[in-house]
Structure formats: structure tokens, C-alpha cells
Structure 1
Amino acid sequence: MKIFVPADAFARALGSDAVADAIAAAAAARGVSVQIVRNGSRGMVWLEPLVELDAPEGRMAFGPFAAEDAGALFDAPDAHPKALGPTEEIAFFKRQTRLTFARVGVIDPLDLADYQAHGGLAGLRRALAMAPEGIVAEVVESGLRGRGGAGFPTGIKWRTVAAAPGPQKYIVCNADEGDSGTFADRMLIEGDPFALIEGMVIAGLAVGADRGFVYLRSEYP
């Protein structure tokens, strides 16, 4: 049995660590073999901690989950008072097609094999087979823009850095989020960190940088 319990900052602030411990204890008391995966947030903070049970028909969601709810998850999951039904059928998700957040909440953020099983490193493998100028040209053609308020074209930025003279170039991931009400970058960093690293490596290949830094605000826990 596989159970997902988020380990992002939102969920941990709301007690997900205690929930994970309680689920492990309840499983042990019943002699049930369970794999607890600490995933990222699905983005529904009002339902955190959001526990998901991997079932044949898909993931089943329960939340907001408390430590005292753990026993019923094994005894009568269908009648659980915190049962929300299939995760993908929750109204928040039903009309979404996730791209940037496609893996967030789905994978174990610290499991590289899980990342690769869900398409991770495919872009890097392709980039390694291309010339730097080819990478830049493809990003320019894609119309990809930055995630900041200006929405600056990524390809133009990369092309400018690639053409700039100098013996040393750097890639800096700007995770300075001034709007404390969103923290979308934090969700990505916590829930899909290998995507951040992969993107930085591809950018480095494109512009000729061999060192990178991630800048975080001091307010991040």
C-alpha cells in the first residue's frame, strides 16, 4: 500500500509530519505493509495536510487530515470522514491541465528515479545532443517567457548572455518571491526540485555557464 503525505512548508506547518508518523504507527499496529511517500503540495492549502491513498482506480484524497484520522484510513477508507474521492475529480483540479506543476504532488521530490519516470531529464538529454546556438534558437522560437512580472522572453535573455564576452558566466535562479500570498516558486522548488536543476543546466549549456546559484529570500523557512 502506498500513501502520499506532503512534506512541503504549507503541509508541515499544518501537522503533516505528525500525520505521517500516525499513519506509520497505525499500519504497524494492524500488520499492514505501507510505503509512505512525502510528496509536494497539490496547491489546495485549505485541504492540507492532504493525504492520498494509491488505489487501483487512481489516487483517493483525504483532507484536511489529522493524526487521529490515521486508523480509519485502514479500517474503513471508503467511509472515512475526511474522504474527498478521487484526487483528479476534486473541483479545483477537474478543469486543469498542469504543465509547470505537472509533477508537483505526484512524485517523491527527492527521488531522481521517480523524476525520470515522469519525464524528467528528457529535455537535458535532448539539449546535450544540440549545439548551444540551437538550444537558444529553439527557446526563442518557443516564445517561453520568465515567471516574473515583466514576462521577459527567455530566449532573448539567453541569446544576450551567450553573446556577452567574458571568461566566466553564471546561471542564477531568482527565487525572490515578494508576494507572500502566492509562493508559486516555492511550490516548484519543494515539489519538483530536479526540474529546477535540469533547467539551470540546460540554460548553462545554452549560454556557456558552468556555475549556478539559487537565490532565496530570507523569509523562506
Structure 2
Amino acid sequence: MNWFEELLNNRALETALPEAIWDTVVMVGISGVATVIIGGVIGIILHITRPGGLAPMRVTYALLSSIIVNITRSIPYAILMVALIPFTQWIVGTSIGPIAATVSLTIATAPFFARLVETSLREVPTGTVDAAQVMGLSNSQIVTKVFLPEALPGLIAAITNTIVVLIGYSAMAGLIGGGGLGRLAYNYGYQRYDPQIMVVTIVVIVIGVQLIQWIGDKIVEVVDHR
């Protein structure tokens, strides 16, 4: 029996792989939505309150940028998810499972996405913003009608990159009971010394990342009219 036939007859893959893929989809999906909402709001506030922004607020910008965003991004995810176990248990009632993993995933990636949002908004030409102010648009109208539409290609690219990062983080979350492909690779591929499980897990993750990147690039091509 060759390696491919052994792979097809691997009962662990047949029973555990579909559940692992679904758990990963749940983790990435829930934390992805939460990250886009929370990180997006933080990123917009960062851009508006920065020096030279629509409503400069030095203290607010310093607190968000230096303390919340920079410090959180500086902590390796492996350390952060372990440190957040008590908080996760308090929020969702458990520290294991894909739903519990979304807490640390969101906290880890929201600051990362916020910085990408701020960078994308900075790329909007100042002349466009000045024209909107001359027309009498309020700050909130400038954000919704100027910044977000003009920065949409960059924002879509930021979302794509963030989801790719979440896929990698979700694999690490599996090591502490988060479930998903990371747990499958660890429990079967590492602890049970099954190289087939490890290879298949890597292939599935690579395919997932390539698919997300391809979809993101296609969306950027559609919305980018420059």
C-alpha cells in the first residue's frame, strides 16, 4: 500500500479533519468580524485624533496609539493567549473550544488591524479632504463619504491580511484547547507521530490562505478605480 492509499484510509483524517476545518472557520469568522468592527473603529479614531487630523486630540491619540495598539501588538500571541485564559473564562464561561479562542484572537488582531486602517486612511489625498471641508461636510460625513470610500481598496487589503494572520493565530490557539487545525496537527500529527496528519493540515492551511488572498485581491481589483 503506497503513501496515497494510506492517506485515503487514515481514519483519523476522515473523522477529525472536517470538524477541525469547521472549528477553524468558526474561530476565524467570529474573530474576523469582531476584529474588523473593533479595530476599524480604533483605526478611524486614531486617524481623526492624530496631529493634523480632523479633530486632533493629543492625549487620546497617545493613549490609543502607544498604550493600546503598540503594547498589545508587541506581545507575542502565544504569550497573550495564555495570559488571557482567566479573562476568556470570565467572558464566555470556558477557556477551551473555538468560541473561547475568539477572545484572544480578537484582542491580538484588533490593534494590528487598527494600525492598517490608520495607514490606509492616511493615503487619502489631503486635497480631497480639503474640498469636502470647503463644501461644509461635518467630520462624520467626511469619514463616511470621503475617507472610507477613497481608502476602500487599502481597507479590503487590510482585511485580507488580517484574516491571513488570524488563520495562523488560530492554529496556535489549538495548542491550548482552541480546537481547529492546530489542535488536529498537535494531537494526531505530533503526539501520535502521524506525519500524514501533519502534511494534510499544512496543505489545508496553505490552501485556505491562498484562497483568502485570491478573493481579497479580486475584490481590490473591483473596488479600485484609480
Category of TM-score, reference length = shorter chain: under 0.3
Structure that is richer in strand per residue:
1
Which structure has more relative contact order (CA 8 Å, sep 6+)? It is: 2
TM-score, normalising length: structure 1: 0.26
TM-score, normalising length: structure 2: 0.25
Structure that is richer in helix per residue:
2
